[in-house]
A and B are shown apart, each in its own frame.
Chain A
Amino acid sequence: MTRLAVDPITCTGHGLCAELLPEAIALDEWGYPLLAHGELPKQLLRRARSVAATCPTRALRLVQTPARSAATEA
């Protein structure tokens, strides 16, 4: 499944992503993105790709994960 991910080191909180894709991205009180969990709805895929290209620091990505939730390591 395709989902949104942000590289938290590269992200400096410009906030363009939340403006352009409010259905899936909100901002916390410091301006950093809060991404919706889970699979990105199909109808948002194309817009999400273009929003990821607009990120000034290229921190926002679309990632592919297997259908089951990935095992988390610390």
Chain B
Amino acid sequence: MTSVLSTSGLFAAPGPGLPEHRATFGPLPVADPVQLTAAAELTGRGGAGFPTAVKLRSVAAAAAAGRRAPVLIGNGAEGEPASAKDAVLLSRAPHLVLDGLAVLARALGAADVVLAAPARLLPGLAARLAERSDGAAVRLHPTGDGFLAGEESALVAAVEGADPLPRSKLVPIRERGVGGRPTLVQNVETLARLALLARGDREAAGRTLVTRRSQVNHAGRTDVVDMPLGTPLGEVLRVDGAVRAVLVGGYHGTWLPAAVAGELPLDRAGLEPVGATLGAGVLAALPTDRCGLRETARVVGYLAASSAGQCGPCLNGLPRIAAALQVLARREAPPPQLLTDLWRWCGLLPDRGACRHPDGTVRLVASALGVFGPELRLHASGRCSATTARPFLPVAGAGR
């Protein structure tokens, strides 16, 4: 079960209802989100970490230039199976998210305001909207559990009633999105942090939600914490002798060896030198009794099946890469050319799709081949250092 540890910041209110929200955070002041996000240097919490102020300005500019009111979408789709922060936020502190939407809707003069979230969360959100005087202005949209459900252009397509498939970025959604209007998509955590910034909370931009996955007493444990950026990883996630490696950032993220991971500050400056980013804020501690290659092969199989199948390089590269990892995950010597082929396929994917799915997958694969290099050699000689085949990382929306 997912639990929430910290009781400050985003989760300070004792309950999700409007009275508790008002009592804890006070009323929502009128605010200029561009000025607020610029001053606080708020970055998006959806995985890309793009400066929010820049995004807001470009959508506002596109709206003014085309003389069309923009569309605003709060993105709670959370297609990443290992992540739970958006669902927890929408359940525990929905009014902060709705406040963030209200601030943006007013500042942008949005023609349409949508909150997109998994179907199971919608009844609760509808109840929260009913508590608010501005609730009728927000349209709820149910998202599926596909990995790409939260990809911005796929979400725009879904909101338009089409299949949730990514679209070409040759015309970006900030210029032409839902119904041809400039569209702003913001992750729900970004919206919640904006709501805190509007109330003068200067720390809000300096903290981030992280989903932690670890094994405690042979049982998987998942929880969500609100932590200051820059905290050493070892203080957020226990990295001891029972941990083999740490996955940072989710399924488009990076494996790091346990020995290195503990000291790393969890922010851009601390993670960039080792080729990692916080991404969707997932930290998973792979236990020593599991095989990193087997886990990665399973995840990459899921990622390959999750491809939209729209772009040639992705449609050809990911299935081949996934199949190769299946072979490498077995305890047998692989065909001689397999690793060479695998690296070549990885090299052919970045920047060649309509979205970043192939890029992110290749990043995960490359880090796995590096960190689990010794494991590759073991497998080639018919052995494996793991003692169980029980899955650790979740796939396909089950078992969050």
Interface residues of A (CB under 8 A from B): 5, 7-13, 28-32, 61, 63, 71, 73-74
- In the A-B complex, the 7 residue pairs with the smallest Cβ-Cβ separation, listed nearest first, are A74-B48, A8-B311, A32-B312, A30-B316, A9-B310, A7-B168, A74-B356
| Cβ-neighbour of B313 out of A7, A28, A61, A74 (below 8 A) | A28
How many contacts A-B (CB < 8 Å)?
Answer: 44
| Selected contact of A7 from candidates B170, B316, B356, CB within 8 Å | B170
Q: If A13-B312, A29-B348, A73-B172 touch, does A8 touch B353 (CB 8 Å cutoff)? A: yes
Given contacts A29-B348, A61-B170, A63-B170, contact A9 B311 (CB under 8 A): yes
Check: B354 CB closer than 8 A to any chain A CB: yes
User: What are 24 contact pairs spanning A and B, CB under 8 A?
Assistant: A7-B168, A7-B170, A7-B354, A8-B168, A8-B352, A8-B353, A9-B310, A9-B311, A9-B354, A10-B168, A11-B312, A12-B312, A28-B348, A30-B313, A30-B316, A31-B312, A32-B312, A32-B316, A61-B170, A73-B48, A73-B50, A74-B47, A74-B48, A74-B356
B294 to chain A: closest CB distance in Å?
28
Q: Taking the complex as formed, is B167 at the interface, i.e. its CB lies under 8 A from any CB of chain A?
A: yes
- Chain B residues, Cβ within 8 Å of A30: 312-313, 316
B residues contacting the other copy or chain, number (CB 8 A): 19
Residue numbers in B under 8 Å from A74 (CB-CB): 47-48, 50, 356
The majority secondary structure among interface residues of chain A is loop
Which residue of A is nearest B174, CB measured? A73
Task: List chain A residues, Cβ under 8 A from B55.
Answer: 73
Residue of B nearest to A73 (CB): B50
With A61-B170, A74-B50: A8-B356 Cβ-Cβ less than 8 Å = no
Residues of A within 8 A of B172 (CB): 73
Q: How far is the CB of B162 from chain A (nearest CB, A)?
A: 13
In B331-376, the 8 Å CB interface with A consists of 348, 352-354, 356
Residues of B within 8 A of A5 (CB): 170
